[in-house]
Chains A and B, each alone.
Chain A
Amino acid sequence: MKIPDTIIAVRNLDFYFKDFKALDQMNLNVPTGSIYGFLGPNGAGKTTTIRVLLDLFHAKQGEVEIFGQSIRQHRHDILSRIGALIEAPSIYKHLSGRQNLEVLRRMLGLPKQRIDEVLEIVRLRENADKKAKEYSLGMCQRLTLAAALLNDPELLILDEPTNGLDPSGIIEMRELILRLNQEHGKTIFLSSHILSEIEKLVSHVAIIDRGKILYEGTLAGLQQQSNQNITVVVKHPDQAMPLLSEHNYQLLEQTATGFVVQVNTEEEIAELNRLLVMNNHEVYQLSPAEQGLESIFLNVTQKLDA
Chain B
Amino acid sequence: MNPAIALSRGLQAEVYKFRRTFLFWFLILAPGFVPAINLIIFLRRGHQIVEAGTNAWPHLLQMSIEPGNMLFPFFVMIVALFVNSIETTSNTWKLIYTQPLSRLTVYLSKVLVFILMLFVSLSLFGIFSIGVGWLVGIFMPDLGFDQAFKTQQFFLAPTRIYLMTLGYASLQFLISQQSKNLILPLGIGIGGLISFLILVQGWEYVEYHPYGFQFLGIGDYADLDASFWAQSKFMIRSLGLALVTFSVGAWLMWRKRIV
> A interface vs B, CB < 8 Å?
51, 54-58, 75-77, 79-80, 82, 84, 86, 88-95, 99, 102-104, 106-109, 147, 151
- Return chain A residues, CB-CB under 8 Å to B17: 92, 95, 103
- CB nearest neighbor in A for B5: A109
A91 pairs with B92, CB closer than 8 A: yes
Query: Given contacts A107-B9, A107-B10, A108-B100, could you give 14 more A-B pairs where the C-beta distance is less than 8 Å?
Result: A55-B98, A57-B257, A79-B99, A80-B100, A82-B98, A90-B92, A90-B94, A92-B17, A92-B92, A95-B20, A104-B13, A107-B96, A109-B9, A151-B100
- Return chain A residues, CB-CB under 8 Å to B10: 107
B257 pairs with A89, CB closer than 8 A: no
B19 pairs with A56, CB closer than 8 A: no
When A and B form their complex, what is the total count of cross-chain residue pairs whose Cβ atoms lie within 8 Å? 79
A253 to B26, CA, bound (A): 61
- Return chain A residues, CB-CB under 8 Å to B101: 76, 107
Tell me how far the C-beta of B90 lies from the nearest C-beta in chain A, rounded to whole angstroms: 5
- Which residues of chain B from 1 to 56 have a CB within 8 Å of any chain A CB? 1, 5, 9-10, 12-13, 16-17, 19-21
Chain B, interface SS category? loop
A88 and B91 contact, Cβ closer than 8 Å, known pairs A58-B255, A76-B1, A107-B13: yes
28 residue pairs from A and B, CB less than 8 Å apart: A51-B257, A51-B258, A54-B94, A56-B97, A56-B98, A56-B258, A57-B258, A58-B255, A58-B257, A75-B102, A76-B1, A76-B100, A84-B98, A90-B92, A90-B94, A91-B91, A91-B92, A93-B90, A94-B21, A95-B17, A95-B19, A103-B17, A106-B9, A107-B9, A107-B99, A108-B99, A109-B9, A151-B100
Q: Which 6 A-B pairs have the closest CB atoms?
A: A80-B100, A90-B95, A106-B13, A56-B258, A79-B100, A106-B12
Size category of the binding interface on chain B: 20 to 34
- CB nearest neighbor in B for A79: B100
- Return chain B residues, CB-CB under 8 Å to A82: 98
Q: Interface centre among A58, A76, A147, by most B CB within 10 Å?
A: A76
- CB nearest neighbor in A for B92: A90
Tell me how far the C-beta of A83 lies from the nearest C-beta in chain B, rounded to whole angstroms: 9
A92 and B90 contact, Cβ closer than 8 Å, known pairs A75-B102, A99-B19, A108-B100: yes
Q: Interface centre among A56, A89, A102, by most B CB within 10 Å?
A: A56
B78 on interface, CB distance cutoff 8 Å: no
A89 pairs with B91, CB closer than 8 A: yes
A79 to B86, CA, bound (A): 23
A56 to B16, CA, bound (A): 24
